[in-house]
Structure 1
Amino acid sequence: MQVPDPHPMLAVLDAAWRPQRMVPLDAGWQGALMRLMMDEESWVAIIQRRASTLSPAPRAADLMLTRSLFRSLHPLGIGLADHVIEAGHDRFSFRTAGLL
């Protein structure tokens, strides 16, 4: 059984939106920003995993995280491709839901 990671991750994406590497957000935004600035890629996606017994539907904190990262990344020329929340076999995509 896979234990859910309580901290969201940023997937660094190439121009075709394929994941290149993961940047943890558990060390705080400044550490993640330093790692992102070293990359030449211009797209990221937020990946969250929840326990399979929970719903992948976004919570208020998820919406705030998405908006905050979008506003912080945009001036740096880094786009937010998606915010995906996975719970067991279910997933929620902010892009698919029209929230990005």
Structure 2
Amino acid sequence: MGVISLRLKEKDLERIEELSRQEHKDKSTIARELLEYGWEFLMVRYYKEGKLSQEGLSKKLDISISEAIDVLAKLGIETPIEYGRLPERI
């Protein structure tokens, strides 16, 4: 795991500390989770804007296409492929 040092606004630090208390997790874990959520949000937005295909989304999120469809469904985003039409894995 790499290490990065960065400066955060006071409000961002307060948010991390608040989540740290609420979730009973250390601040580093919270920061990593927020980065992961932010990455997922950005990739889903790219998908919605047509900048990523379902396959591209699944690769960027490092998940299967069916898992990517689940992520989109949880966010209320329709997909052109239905589960019954997905190819079976060998």
TM over 0.5: no
More helix by share: 2
Structure 2 length-normalised TM = 0.28
Higher relative contact order at CA 8 Å, sep ≥6: structure 1 or structure 2?
Answer: 1
Structure 1 or 2, whichever has the larger Rg, is 2
